[in-house]
Amino acid sequence: MNKNLQSDKKNSILMAAVKVLTNKGYYSSTMDDIVAESKMSKGAIYHYYSSKKEVYLAVIDMWENQTQELLAPAGDEDSSAKAIKQLFNLLAKQLKIDGSFFNCLPTLWAIARHDDDFRKKMQKVYNRFQRFIELIILRGIESKEFVNLQPDNAKTPALSLILNFEGIFWFNIFNSKYVDAEKYIEEISSSILYVYTQRKGEK
């Protein structure tokens, strides 16, 4: 079978699985639900995946690959401050285009609390994402851009940024009518960068 066709079929299965996982959760969903959502035959699904657990674990891999592709332009910015601003903007843009993919994250973390395979996979994903953020921060420290951060403690601001990124996802889940998502993103990113870059005596 053509590799591109295989990839397309697997992607269709996984996107269907995202919808099922988001709507029904892990324990209440079945392979039959994924079959129905994908509009493919059961045999076609089982050709690639032997169980719903295997499908949902593959969803994590797909989520990471798509997130890496989405955020890659931030790594090409000529300054760390621009890179961080770009990360917020890229996530916000994706949220506006199609936020459905972010909705499954809380469910995946909930599964990870009770299943070691999910926990290990999710931990590896977050470790790699954290390292990506750390490298941006370290570059800003080395260039004297982030004057208020220390190179031996880059993990703390990286984790803080990840928590703020995840805050964007909650806008999509709860569709808050009291806070504008774009305004929140602009204010929170500007506040973070102010703390990182503000020199003593400056206002």
Domain positions in the chain are 56-197
- Measured CA to CA, the distance from residue 129 to residue 90 in angstroms comes to 15
How many Å from the N-terminal Cα to the C-terminal Cα in the chain?
A: 63
Containing 141, the helix (H) or strand (E) segment is helix 116-142
* Residues of the chain below pLDDT 50: none
Question: For residue 109, how many other CB atoms are within 10 A of its CB?
Answer: 14
pLDDT, residue 64, reads 92
Q: Which of 187, 150, 154, 149 is nearest to 168 (CA)?
A: 187
Q: pLDDT digit string (tens) for 102-136?
A: 788 888 999 999 999 999 999 999 999 999 999 99
Domain 56-197 homologous superfamily, CATH: Tetracycline Repressor, domain 2 (1.10.357.10)
- Measured CA to CA, the distance from residue 160 to residue 31 in angstroms comes to 37
The owner of tokens 């206002």 is 203
